[in-house]
Amino acid sequence: MYICFKGMKRRAAIEEPDDWPSLTLTPRAGLVEGTIVIIDLDRFGEFVRERGLSEYSPNDVTGLLSRLVEDLARRWGGVILYGLDWERGTEEAVVEIPGVEASELAGDLLRIAREVCEEGASVTIVAVTGLVGAGRPVGRREAYRGSPDRVRALRLLRRLKRRGGGVVYVDGSEFKACSSGARL
């Protein structure tokens, strides 16, 4: 194997032991096992209209969700790919957490759902284990469709929302987000 360092005029040969695994660089290089989390408030437009709130400034629910998403990312060492918005409030968010299986997050995700429910809103949360770490996306589309595992999580979210939402989905297990069933 040859390595060329910046400023070197010629390559330096480095011996490679026979027992080293061969490295193949692919477009997936840099990805690690982790968890993709997508959080989305259910029927947010209805919620805002019924309460007479502005969609363009934080309210109790979107401000709370902003704080909870940031806390989740900080606690687990995650990267917020999309959605955290302190100026308008967070309605939806995509977070990738490397090195953590979705099942480890179940308690925190249920807590997020319950706190949102206490504010009178409903939320759907999907957490799936997959490959994460491809870098920060440049927009909403790439945040949701930047990897096959994000696409899978988005499909699950849409399916759960069509069925009424208010669910926390963690790698195949569904939990009711609001125990009282209180939704809009």
pTM of the model: 0.77
pLDDT value for 1: 37
For residues 32-47, give the mean pLDDT. 90
Per-residue model confidence as pLDDT tens digits over 115-167? 999 988 899 999 999 988 756 666 777 777 778 888 899 999 999 999 988 89
DSSP class per residue in 55-102:
TTS--HHHHHHHHHHHHHHHHHT-EEEE---TTT--SEEEEEEET--H
What single letter denotes the amino acid at residue 32? V
pLDDT in tens, 69-123: 999 999 999 989 888 888 888 889 999 999 999 999 999 999 999 999 998 889 9
Angle at 137 between CA 126 and CA 122, to 5 degrees: 30
pLDDT at site 35? 94
The sign of the dihedral angle between the CA atoms of 23, 33, 147, 87 is negative
- The first and second tokens of residue 88, run together, are 């308008």
Q: Could you tell me how many helices (H) and strands (E) the chain has, helices first? A: 5, 8
Q: What are the structural domains of the chain?
A: 27-176 (3.30.70.270)
pLDDT confidence of residue 28: 53
Say how many CA atoms lie within 13 Å of 173 toward its Cβ: 11
Query: How confident is residue 168, by pLDDT bands cut at 50, 70 and 90?
Result: very high
Tokens (6 digits) for 63:
């401000």
